[in-house]
Amino acid sequence: MSSSLTLPSISFNKLHSSPSLNGFSRNFCSSNQRSRVSISVSAGSQASVNDALFSDYKASNAFLFPGQGAQALGMGKEAQNVPAAAILYKKANDILGFDLLDICINGPKEKLDSTVISQPAIYVTSLAAVELLRVHEGGQQIIDSVDVTCGLSLGEYTALAFAGAFSFEDGLKLVKLRGEAMQDASDAAKSSMVSVIGLDSEKVQQLCDAVNQEVPEAEKVQIANYLCPGNYAVSGGTKGVEVLESKAKSFKARMTVRLAVAGAFHTSFMEPAVSRLEAALAATEIRTPKIPVISNVDAQPHADPDTIKKILARQVTSPVQWETTVNTLLTKGMKKGYELGPGKVIAGILKRVDKAAVIENIGA
């Protein structure tokens, strides 16, 4: 599927004509999924959703959304040609207080790469890609066929918005705060992330253990992203990461690649961000997703809004279980995946897990 889609789109306002469904989910929620929503009433007369609602989900066609690091100058350019996609950027400008599309297209790159800009930029561009797909011939049929979705770290918010768990606007507000909170947590302590290439997860853990024997508590490292065989991201204190880089060759790693992020994401270094996220999530209306959304924390789908809120707050300090997520989708029968948004990171990961896996990139 080409990303150069320029056909006219349906109105974004029309997508939100039903108050009960988010615009991204309205057109693909199947009657089968609706019939499976079960509500249990507690003694306090408060309705609660069975969190195990999606536990027996099947994965035929999946939407997968990228995370921080996928950003690139020029992203969003195609979105200007599709009214429903262009409106997302206009809405984003009102929420963020600056011209997001201009930064996406023109940079400067250093600004786009910053945590506080890149996270909202990827969120909006990925949902704009959904709108570009929608107006392409057969695109709505693809959207209707999607029966599971997930996203890498930040991309989990995009997946939840697509699945109707919260509105585009509320999701963007959460992503904005998340980026700011993670940046502030990174500024509070010197920390870094590095990809270790060429080792399995057990060997990377042994490497981390060796490093942690030599550095003080504040510098310790841990696996932060279980991406795919041969590629695991490690987070920790900057000194600990430097020691890891010096030891990696002796553990037979092919190479290490320092990641261009603000700090040690998905570790306890992000703990200062949790309380801010908890407060924002508590004030946000979150609904049961219309299709399963796989969590980064435990590689499981969750249906209960309160559980989703707790999971999202934990996500910034918990290792990303992406390898398990991909393996589970394949085990559940995924025939085709679609990576929506900038870059082709997810496609590369999927191919590392299973060379026969089918995935298509939909850019914006």
Residue 22 lies in a domain: no
User: Residue 106: CA atoms inside 13 Å, Cβ hemisphere, count?
Assistant: 4
Given a cut of 70, whether residue 203 has pLDDT beyond it is: yes
Residues 82 and 219 grouped into a single domain: no
Residues 198 and 122 grouped into a single domain: no
Residues 125 and 231 grouped into a single domain: no
| pLDDT (0 to 100) of residue 21 | 33
Residues 77 and 224 grouped into a single domain: no
Instruction: Quote the pTM value.
Output: 0.87
Residues 170 and 205 grouped into a single domain: no
Q: Can you give the residue range of the structural domain that contains 236?
A: 191-258
Q: What is the pLDDT of residues 327-346, one digit of tens each?
A: 999 999 999 999 999 999 99
Residues 116 and 221 grouped into a single domain: no
Q: How many domains are there within the chain?
A: 2
Q: What is the pLDDT of residues 237-251, one digit of tens each?
A: 999 999 999 999 999
Q: What is the pLDDT averaged over residues 46-74?
A: 91
Given a cut of 80, whether residue 42 has pLDDT beyond it is: no
16 noted as active-site residue? no
Nearest to 112 by CA among 172, 71, 168: 71
Given a cut of 60, whether residue 192 has pLDDT beyond it is: yes
266 noted as active-site residue? yes
Domain end marker among 239, 258, 277 = 258
Residue 43 lies in a domain: no
Considering the candidates 114, 153, 192, 295, report the single residue annotated as catalytic.
153
Residue 9 lies in a domain: no
| pLDDT (0 to 100) of residue 31 | 34
Q: What is the pLDDT of residues 286-313, one digit of tens each?
A: 999 999 999 999 999 999 999 999 999 9
Residues 93 and 157 grouped into a single domain: yes
Residue 203 lies in a domain: yes
Given a cut of 60, whether residue 68 has pLDDT beyond it is: yes
Q: How sure is the predictor about 36, in pLDDT bands with cuts at 50, 70 and 90?
A: very low
| pLDDT (0 to 100) of residue 313 | 97
- Percentage of the chain surpassing pLDDT 90? 85
Neighbours of 165 (CB within 10 A): 27
| pLDDT (0 to 100) of residue 25 | 44
Residues 67 and 178 grouped into a single domain: yes
Residues with Cβ < 8 Å from 69, sequence gap 6 or more? 118, 259, 260, 261, 343, 345
Domain end marker among 200, 226, 258 = 258
Residue 228 lies in a domain: yes
Residue 11 lies in a domain: no
Residue 85 lies in a domain: yes
Helices (H) and strands (E) in the chain, counts: 16, 11
What CATH number does the domain containing 196 carry?
3.30.70.250
Partners of residue 301 on adjacent β-strands: 294
Q: How sure is the predictor about 260, in pLDDT bands with cuts at 50, 70 and 90?
A: confident
> Of 11-15, 121-125, 213-217, which gets the smallest average pLDDT?
11-15
Residues 130 and 103 grouped into a single domain: yes
Domain end marker among 199, 228, 258 = 258
Alpha-carbon distance values, 354 to 166, 233, 335 (Å): 32, 20, 12
| pLDDT (0 to 100) of residue 47 | 58
Residues 195 and 110 grouped into a single domain: no
Which tokens belong to 261? 């992020």
3-state SS string over 131-153? HHHHHCCCHHHHHHHEEEEEECC
d(CA 32, CA 99): 41
Alpha-carbon distance values, 314 to 110, 261, 265, 277, 280 (Å): 28, 19, 12, 9, 13
> Of 25-39, 141-155, 211-225, 343-357, which gets the smallest average pLDDT?
25-39
Partners of residue 362 on adjacent β-strands: 340
| pLDDT (0 to 100) of residue 48 | 74
Residues 178 and 221 grouped into a single domain: no
Nearest to 181 by CA among 309, 284, 280: 280
Residue 210 lies in a domain: yes
Considering the candidates 3, 266, 295, 302, report the single residue annotated as catalytic.
266
CB-based contact 157:176 (threshold 8 Å): no
Q: What is the pLDDT averaged over residues 204-231?
A: 97
What CATH number does the domain containing 340 carry?
3.40.366.10
Residues 161 and 270 grouped into a single domain: yes
